[in-house]
Amino acid sequence: MSCAKIYAARSAAAAIVVASVVVASVVGAGASGAVAQRPAAPTKVTGTITVSAAASLTDVFPVIAAAFMKKYPGTTVTFNFGGSPALVEQINAGAPVDVLATASEPTMWKAVNAGHVRLPWLFAKNTMAIAMPPGNPAGIKQLSDLAKPGVLVAVCAVAVPCGLASRDLLKLNNVVVRPVTQELDVRAVLGKVMADEVDAGIVYATDVRAAGSKVTSVSISAADNVTTTYPIATVVGAPNPAAAQAFVNYVRFTASAQGILRTFGFARPW
């Protein structure tokens, strides 16, 4: 079954806003054909919000939050970073969270279909890359090198978005890899690489960029790569709904937040 997807586009020149469209087949028991209208900006924004966000947003979201808090004096943004499925489970269990941002649409829709978050907006897109310890001791030059005997490879578990993306990447390129470890979020994979515990890890391109000189990397051509899109939504029953909506609006619709995302290597999903 195909996953529900939300797409939004905005043309500043024509001042046209196309509402996010949910594609007809939704994962689970969701209502197909629903439409998310762009929310109105809250009139009063103050107080603290908690944002549960995918681990791959660990570097960029605090920078966006700093710009958001400057725009809205009196606000404070706190974060809970982790694997997207774990974040959804926490919200579904009643965790006091205001905003959810996941690293894949299917993961977000588990929370939407459970009735715990509102219809999301796509705000970023990511691709995959190979990270190696500095100096690249195993001599990894391309994706197929990960299948060589003796090469120790780390990936994310398929239960999390980076794991699904890694699986799809290997399948697309007809590469069979037997990883020595499968981690619960992409930063754990990156940590294994930086600690020189593995020869290579499949991570997001943005993670390689964030790691800088702490890793060596091999990029993957667009034709051979896969992508994942990031949705963001307010949580139903959020402790601070006004500030939560303002943060979602800021991430998705402001040139400031989108510019920060570009700086950190995230692409537009529309």
CA-based torsion, 219, 220, 221, 227: positive or negative: negative
Residue 50 belongs to domain with CATH number? 3.40.190.10
Number of domains in the chain: 2
CA distance 132 to 215: 6
Please check whether residues 55 and 68 belong to one and the same domain. yes
The structure tokens listed for 198 are 């593995």
In a domain, 96, yes or no: yes
- CB burial of 40-66 (b: ≥16 within 10 Å; e: otherwise) equals eebeebeeebbbbbbbbbbbbbeebbe
pLDDT in tens, the chain (270 residues): 433 333 333 333 332 232 333 332 333 323 333 445 678 878 789 999 999 999 999 999 999 999 999 999 999 999 999 999 999 999 999 999 999 999 999 999 999 999 999 999 999 999 999 999 999 999 999 999 999 999 999 999 999 999 999 999 999 999 999 999 999 999 999 999 999 999 999 999 999 999 999 999 999 999 999 999 999 999 999 999 999 999 999 999 999 999 999 999 999 998
In a domain, 190, yes or no: yes
Please check whether residues 193 and 241 belong to one and the same domain. no
CA distance 46 to 242: 8
CA distance 72 to 93: 30
The structure tokens listed for 72 are 């809205």
Inter-axis angle of helices 60-71 and 241-253, nearest 10: 110
Please check whether residues 249 and 184 belong to one and the same domain. no
Please check whether residues 144 and 191 belong to one and the same domain. yes
Please check whether residues 233 and 201 belong to one and the same domain. no
Domain coverage including residue 61 = 38-125+229-263
